[in-house]
Amino acid sequence: MRIDIATLFPDMCETVLNESIVGRARKAGKIELHCHQIRDYSTDKHRRVDDTPYGGGMGMVMQAEPIYRCFLAVTESFPEKPHTIYMSPKGTVFTQQKALELSKRENIFIICGHYEGVDQRVLNKIVDEEISIGDYVLTGGELPALVLTDAVARMCDGVLSSEECFEEESHFSGLLEYPHYTRPEVWEGERVPEVLLTGHHKNIEKFRREQSIKMTKEKRPDLYAKYEQNINMDSK
């Protein structure tokens, strides 16, 4: 898989993408990640990429042309148009299911907005969907783009050591993940649950499942309601 990020802050993105599991997978060639400076595609001698909005209003708006030129330059050699995403608080809220869906694509192109946003015309021309990471506003699309890239990349073949690494995680099955424990066996007077020390895999699996259900019910009743609904539908 290849993911391209069009941004005003490529160094910021590179710093994050070169670290941890995603960074190691990138170096090993398991996933291809590229960050592109939108200013490089400006025709203005000062590399300006924004202007005042028509109709008035606060702030500046990113111009369509530099973004479009960046998109064309990056994708001209692609066999087909990449799935193009604009990170926006107006978009559909990002979920684990969406991460799984996107991980099946060959190429993704992400546009990071800034200032008061992006000229709508370039969004109309090249964007396939708008995605939000939550109902709040950030100063730019870089952090959301990095969240999306991390969530998608780790679902790709070879990035994690085993599919089990993400299949048991929170949200993958519709439930929150069970609690974890490590050494020492007793910490501040609290013991590790006895069942985890038995080595009885079937009982441990049962305990963890029960804890996932309990935790989801307590912490995310909205997720639990969906889970319960799906269970009832499957039983019919």
Q: In angstroms, rounded to a whole number, what is the distance separating the alpha carbons of residues 118 and 121?
A: 8
> Do 51 and 20 form a contact (C-beta atoms < 8 A)?
no
* Average pLDDT across the chain, whole number: 93
Is residue 182 included in any domain, yes or no? yes
- Of 110, 127, 153, which one is at a domain's C-terminal end? 153
Clarify whether residues 217 and 179 are in a common domain. yes
Q: How far apart are CA 96 and CA 110, in angstroms?
A: 18
162 occurs within a structural domain: no
Please tell me whether residues 98 and 129 are part of one structural domain.
yes
Q: Mark whether 8 and 120 lie in a shared domain.
A: yes
The pLDDT assigned to 165 comes to 52
User: Are residue 35 and residue 138 in the same domain, yes or no?
Assistant: yes
- The reply to whether 159 falls in a domain is no
Domain range for 25: 2-153
Together in a domain, 90 and 133: yes
List, for the chain, all residue ranges whose pLDDT scores fall below the cut of 50.
Answer: 164
**Residue holding tokens 């305990």?**
207
Residue 161 lies in a domain: no
Q: Which two tokens stand for residue 113?
A: 């907005």
User: Are 136 and 176 in a shared domain?
Assistant: no
Can you give the pLDDT at residue 124? Answer: 98
Number of domains in the chain: 2
User: Tell me, what's the pLDDT at 164?
Assistant: 46
Place of tokens 């702030």: 59
Residue 172: CATH number of its domain: 1.10.1270.20
Q: What is the pLDDT of residue 172?
A: 62
Same domain, 130 and 184: no
> Alpha-carbon distance 209 to 221, whole Å?
16
| Structural domain contains residue 163 | no
